[in-house]
Structure formats: structure tokens, C-alpha cells
Structure 1
């Protein structure tokens, strides 16, 4: 059920997903949302968080550290974690 209502999340950018997640947190913190709606938006929030985590991991995998020679010249790149 939750997957049907969250299909749009896959197409969201990190910024869009984070903004949607922030709105959900704000709504839940207000405490004036009916219980059944709270459950639905909480589930959507979980899906948004997972999407943000995937996007961040993908971005981290692309980050590279620049290797420098003793004289300061760039000699290449390597993974940031050294993996």
C-alpha cells in the first residue's frame, strides 16, 4: 500500500525529498494530524529518508580525493575512503 502512494519519490532530487521530509516532520510535530493520517505520512517519511540515504551514498561514491606530488602538483585521484 505504501509503495503505491510513494512511487513519486524515486523521481525526486535530494533537495525535493529532503523538503518533503521536513514538511512531514513539521506536520507530525504539530500534533494536530489524525492518527490514520499520521501513520501514512510517517510511512512516507520513512520512504523519503531511505531515498535521501541512497542519493547521499551515490554522491559519496563519486567523491574522489586529489593526490598531490611533493611539489604540490596534482598526480591523479583516488577514492575518498581509500577503498
Structure 2
């Protein structure tokens, strides 16, 4: 897959990446896609899946960093070190 396509995936929001991934799955499941195109869109699907996993992992890390006050209520979050 070209670097341009990979870069495009890296900028997608979770919702947009998931929407596109669902569309690819539907196309592949239909069985009406030529072999070469199937391979190409499967590769894009893999990149989209990795993007979704990355964004979910980041969100999970942020949720885990929520701090609680003495009453057990959330009082804020610590910044997530994404590097």
C-alpha cells in the first residue's frame, strides 16, 4: 500500500476509520469483488483496524488516568504521554 494511503489512515478519526472498515468488510463478504481489488481493500482494512485499535488504546489509557477525589468522584485527568 502506498505511503499516501497509510498517511490518510493515520489522520482518520475513530468513527471514520470504523465506518470505512465496516464498508470494506461488507464488500469482501459480498463476494463480488475481483481478486486483486479484494487484496488491495483487505490491506486497507488491516491499516484501518490498526488505526482503530490505536485510538481505542489511547482512549483507554486516558480513562485509566482519571483521578478520584476523597469522595470517589472524578476530579480531573492527567495528560496522556503520547509519543
CA distance in 2, matches of 1:11, 1:19: 14
**Which structure 1 segments of 5+ residues have no match?**
none
Give 2:37's aligned residue.
37
* TM value normalised by structure 2: 0.76
Whether the 8 Å contact between 2:62 and 2:77 is mirrored in structure 1 is no
Indicate the RMSD between aligned Cα atoms, in angstroms: 2.5
* TM value normalised by structure 1: 0.76
**Which structure 2 segments of 5+ residues have no match?**
79-83
Structure having the higher strand fraction is 1
Are residues 16 and 78 of structure 1, via their aligned partners in 2, closer, same or farther at CA, if it must alter by over 3 Å? closer
CA distance in 1, matches of 2:17, 2:72: 39
* Count of aligned pairs: 77
SS for the counterpart of 1:27 is helix
Displacement after TM superposition at 1:34 (Å)? 0.3
**Higher Cα radius of gyration:** 1
